[in-house]
C-alpha cells in the first residue's frame, strides 16, 4: 500500500491567535485540492483557536510536545488527554530544539512517544544528527541510538511518523540535498525494518525537515523514501500551501 504523503508545519514559538487565524483562513482555499495529509503544529496556547479556525478544512492541528504522565505535579506541562480534549491529532516529539535547549533525551522521547500512542495521538518523532556527527561519520550511529531508545516498546510502528531533521539544516537555509536526504531516510527505513519488520517499516511515513521550502520541496518529495516534510519557517506564510501542493 502506498504511503500517503504528509506535510506538517511547525510554527515553533511564533504567531498569535490573530495572525495564526489569518494565515489559516488564507491557506484553507489554497489547500482544498491537496492529496496529502496536512497538519500545523502550533504553540499549545493557540490550539483551541487554531482548531476552530481550521474547522471544515484539510488542515489538522498538532502540538509541539506532550508530557508522559497522565496528570500530576509537573508544572508547565501538558498531557495527552488535555491535547485530545481540544481536537489535537498529531504531536511533535523530540524536536532538536527541545533536545538542545530543554534537556530532552532519547529516554524522555521514548516516554512521551509511548504516552502519545496510548492516548491515540499520532507522534511525529524527530531524529537527526548534528554537523559534528555528520562530519565525523557518526550519522548512522546517532540515528540508530535515537531510534532504538526513542522507539523502544512501541507496538505498532505504523501509528507514528518519523521526521528526519538534520540539525545543521534547521533554520540555516542549508537544506540537505535530495540525495543526502533520500540516502539517510532510506537508512532509517532499513533500520526500522530490522527493529520491527520490513512490511511495517515500508508503511511508516518518514518526513524530511530542515529549510524545506516552496523552491526545494518538489525535488525532495520526488525521492522514493521521503513521504513528506516538517516545515519550520516556510509554514509561517502562504508558501506552506505551495509546499502542500508540491505535486501540482
Q: Which residues are marked as active site?
A: 95, 165
Q: Which is nearer to ligand 13P, 95 or 99 (CB)?
A: 95
Return residues touching ligand 13P (CB under 6 A). 10, 95, 165, 170-171, 209-212, 230-234
Q: How far apart are CA 175 and CA 5, in angstroms?
A: 19
Report in angstroms how near the CB of residue 199 gets to ligand 13P at its nearest: 28
Query: How far is the C-alpha of 168 from the C-alpha of 165, rounded, in Å?
Result: 8
Least distance to ligand 13P, CB of residue 197, Å: 28
Task: For ligand 13P, give the closer residue by CB, 38 or 170.
Answer: 170
Smallest distance from the beta carbon of 56 to ligand 13P, in angstroms? 26
Q: Quick one: 54 or 94, whose CB is closer to ligand 13P?
A: 94
What gap in Å lies between CA 52 and CA 127, rounded to an integer?
31
Choice between 193 and 219, CB closer to ligand 13P: 219
Residue least distant from ligand 13P (Cβ):
232
Buried b (16+ CB within 10 A) or exposed e, 111-126: bbbbbbbebebbbbbb
Amino acid at each position: 500500500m502506498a504511503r500517503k504523503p504528509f506535510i506538517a508545519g511547525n510554527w515553533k514559538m511564533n504567531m498569535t491567535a490573530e495572525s495564526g487565524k489569518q494565515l489559516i483562513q488564507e491557506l484553507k482555499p489554497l489547500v482544498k485540492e491537496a492529496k496529502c495529509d496536512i497538519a500545523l503544529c502550533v504553540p499549545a496556547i493557540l490550539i483551541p483557536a487554531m482548531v476552530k479556525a481550521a474547522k471544515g478544512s484539510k488542515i489538522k492541528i498538532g502540538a509541539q510536545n506532550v508530557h508522559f504522565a497522565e496528570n500530576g505535579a509537573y508544572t508547565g506541562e501538558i498531557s495527552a488527554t488535555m491535547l485530545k480534549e481540544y481536537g489535537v491529532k498529531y504531536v511533535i516529539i523530540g524536536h532538536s530544539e527541545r533536545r538542545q535547549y530543554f534537556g530532552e533525551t532519547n529516554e524522555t522521547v521514548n516516554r512521551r512517544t509511548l504516552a502519545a500512542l496510548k492516548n491515540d495521538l499520532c507522534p511525529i518523532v524527530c531524529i537527526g544528527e548534528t554537523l559534528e556527527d555528520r562530519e565525523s561519520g557518526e550519522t548512522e550511529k546517532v540515528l540508530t541510538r535515537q531510534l532504538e531508545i526513542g522507539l523502544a516498546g512501541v507496538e505498532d510502528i505504523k501509528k507514528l511518523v518519523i521526521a528526519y531533521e538534520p540539525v545543521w539544516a534547521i533554520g540555516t537555509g542549508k537544506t540537505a540535498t535530495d540525495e543526502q536526504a533520500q540516502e539517510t531516510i532510506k537508512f532509517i527505513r532499513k533500520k526500522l525494518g530490522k527493529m520491527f519488520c520490513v512490511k511495517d517499516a515500508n508503511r511508516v511515513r518518514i518526513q524530511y525537515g530542515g529549510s524545506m521550502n516552496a523552491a526545494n520541496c518538489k525535488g525532495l518529495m520526488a525521492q522514493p523514501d521521503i513521504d513528506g516534510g516538517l516545515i519550520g519557517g516556510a509554514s509561517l506564510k502562504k508558501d506552506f500551501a505551495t509546499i502542500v501542493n508540491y505535486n501540482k
